[in-house]
Amino acid sequence: MGVKSRQIEPIAVFRSPFTSKFGVPRQSGLVETLRGRIVFTPAFRHEEAIRGLEDFDYIWLIWGFEAPSNLPLKGEAARHHPALTVRPPRLGGNERVGVFASRSPFRPNGLGLSSVRIAKIENGEIEVLGADLMDGTPIYDIKPYVPYADSHPTARGGFTEKREWKKLEVEIPEEIQSVFSPDDLQALIQTLEQDPRPHYHHDPHRVYGMPFAGHDVKFRVENNKCIVLVLD
C-alpha cells in the first residue's frame, strides 16, 4: 500500500517591496540589504511557534511559486509532461541543464527554498534580509539554519562556477534617490546591479519597468550601466 499524500497549507505569507516577479533577486542572499517580513497565518501567529528562534542568525524558507509555469501544456495532460530541462540565466539563457541540476522556478512542483538572515523578531513576525520572494508569496515551512550541518564551504557549484557574473554599474538621479528610505535605496541599487533583465535582452534603448517599494522604477541598460530614468 502506498503512502497517502497530504495537502500542504501555507503557514505564513511573505511581505516584500517587490509586487511582481520582475526584479526579484534570482537567489537569496544576493541583495543582502533587501528587507521583508514573514507574517504568520492565525493558526501559527503565536509566540510558542517561534520560541528559541532568536538564538539563530539564519532560517530556511520553503515556499511556493505563484503558478506551475514549468508546465508546457494546458489542461490535465500538462500534469504528466513536466519540463525535464531548463535554461538558467547564469548560462545566458541559451544552454540547457536538467531541471534537478538547477534552481529554476520551472519545476515539477512549484516549491522554492531560500536561506535568509533574521533581522528581528517582533510582535510574532519575523523580519528578514536577503530574500528572493515577491510580495504575497505563501510560505509552507520555516527551519533554522544550522552551520554544522548546512554549511559546506568546499562544495563544488557546478555550472554556477563556469561563468563570472558581472554586476552592472547603477546610476540613479538624486531626485529619485530622495524618494526612497536609505534601506530601500541600497536594496534597489543592489537589485539593479544584478541585472534583472531577461538575459536574451540586449537592446540599449529598451526601457524596463520594475515595481519596487510602491513605485514603478523605469530604467535601461547600456554599456554595462543601468540608468534609472524616472519613477511612476
**Is the pLDDT assigned to residue 81 strictly greater than 60?**
no
Report, as an integer, the average pLDDT of 117-146: 96
Same domain flag for 99 and 71 = yes
pLDDT number for residue 76: 43
* Domain final position from 161, 188, 207: 161
What percent of the chain clears pLDDT 90, i.e. is strictly above it? 69
What is the tally of structural domains in the chain? 2
pLDDT number for residue 107: 85
Mean per-residue pLDDT of the chain: 88
Sign of the alpha-carbon dihedral angle for 225, 215, 115, 140: negative
pLDDT number for residue 78: 45
- Considering the entire predicted model, what is its pTM? 0.86
Kindly give, in sequence order, each residue whose CB lies less than 8 Å from that of residue 63, ignoring residues fewer than 6 positions away: 14, 111, 112, 113, 114, 133, 137, 138, 139, 140
Residue with cell 554586476: 167
**Is the pLDDT assigned to residue 159 strictly greater than 80?**
yes
Q: At 41, is the pLDDT very low, low, confident or very high (cuts 50, 70, 90)?
A: very high
* Domain final position from 115, 138, 161: 161
- The contacts found for 96-103 with CB under 8 angstroms, 24 or more apart, are 97/159, 99/70, 101/158, 101/159, 103/27
User: The domain containing residue 179 runs over which residues?
Assistant: 169-231
3 state DSSP class of 101: helix
